[in-house]
A and B are shown apart, each in its own frame.
Chain A
Amino acid sequence: MSSTGASWGCQGLSVRYGATVALEDVSFEARAGTVAAVVGGDGAGKTSLLRALAGTVRPAAGTVRRPPARRLGYVSAGPGVWTDLTVDENLDFAGRAYGLSADELDRRVAWLLDRTGLAEARGRLAGRLSGGMRQKLALAMAVAHEPDLLILDEPTTGVDPVSRAELWRLLASSAADGAAVVVATTYLDEAERAATVLVLDRGRALLAGTPDEVLAATPGLVVEGTARPEGIASWRRGARWRAWSPDGSAPPGTSPVTLDLEDAAIVAQLRQDRGRAA
Chain B
Amino acid sequence: MNQEKGVESAVGRRPLDSGRQIRRPGRPASEVLAEAAGATKRFGELLAVDRVDLAVAAGEVVGLIGANGSGKTTLIRMLLGLVAPTAGRVRLFGEPPSRRTRARLGYVPQSLGLYEDLTVAENLAFSAAAYGSSQAALQGELAEAGDVLVRDLPLGLRRRAAFAIALGHHPDLLVLDEPTSGVDPLQRARLWETIRASAEQGAGVLVTTHHLSEAEQCDRLVVLASGRVVAAGTLDEVVGDATAVEVRTPTWEAAFGTLDLAGLPVGLVGRNLRVPGADPASVGRLLAEAGVQAEVATVPASFEETFVVLAT
When each residue 167-196 of chain A gets 1 if its CB lies under 8 Å from chain B and 0 otherwise, what string results? 011001101111000000011110011110
| A175, B213: Cα distance in complex, Å | 26
When each residue 67-111 of chain A gets 1 if its CB lies under 8 Å from chain B and 0 otherwise, what string results? 000000000000000000000000000000000000000000000
Let me know if A201 and B184 touch, CB within 8 A. Answer: yes
Residues 185-199 (chain B) with a chain A CB within 8 angstroms = 185-187, 189-190, 192-193, 196
Closest to B265 in A: A165
Q: From known contacts A160-B68, A238-B218, A266-B189, infer whether A176 and B253 are also in contact, taking CB-CB under 8 Å.
A: yes
Q: A35, A160, A266: which contacts B185 (Cβ < 8 A)?
A: A266
Count of A-B residue pairs with CB < 8 Å: 140
Is B257 in the interface zone, CB < 8 Å from A? yes
Closest to B186 in A: A269
| A34, B269: Cα distance in complex, Å | 11
Binding site for A on B (CB under 8 A): 17-20, 61, 66-70, 154-156, 181-187, 189-190, 192-193, 196, 210-213, 216-219, 252-253, 256-257, 260, 265-271, 304, 307-308, 311-312
5 A–B pairs (Cβ distance < 8 Å), ordered by A:
A132-B68, A173-B257, A238-B217, A265-B184, A269-B184
Q: B184, B217, B252: which contacts A176 (Cβ < 8 A)?
A: B252
Closest to A168 in B: B267
Closest to A41 in B: B184
Which residues of A are found within 8 Å of B17, using beta-carbon distances?
Answer: 226-227, 239-240
Which residues of A are found within 8 Å of B193, using beta-carbon distances?
Answer: 235-236
Which residues of A are found within 8 Å of B266, using beta-carbon distances?
Answer: 169, 172
| A169, B274: Cα distance in complex, Å | 11
Q: From known contacts A160-B67, A187-B213, A226-B19, infer whether A165 and B186 are also in contact, taking CB-CB under 8 Å.
A: no
Q: B196, B211, B219, B265: which contacts A236 (Cβ < 8 A)?
A: B196
Which of B155, B182, B216 lies at the interface centre, i.e. has the most chain A CB atoms within 10 A of its CB? Answer: B182
Q: A163, A188, A269: which contacts B68 (Cβ < 8 A)?
A: A163
Let me know if B185 and A157 touch, CB within 8 A. Answer: no
| A127, B66: Cα distance in complex, Å | 23
Let me know if A239 and B67 touch, CB within 8 A. Answer: no
In addition to A176-B256, A188-B185, A210-B270, 7 A-B residue pairs with Cβ atoms within 8 Å of each other are: A33-B253, A41-B155, A161-B210, A172-B268, A187-B213, A194-B270, A265-B185
Q: B69, B185, B256: which contacts A269 (Cβ < 8 A)?
A: B185
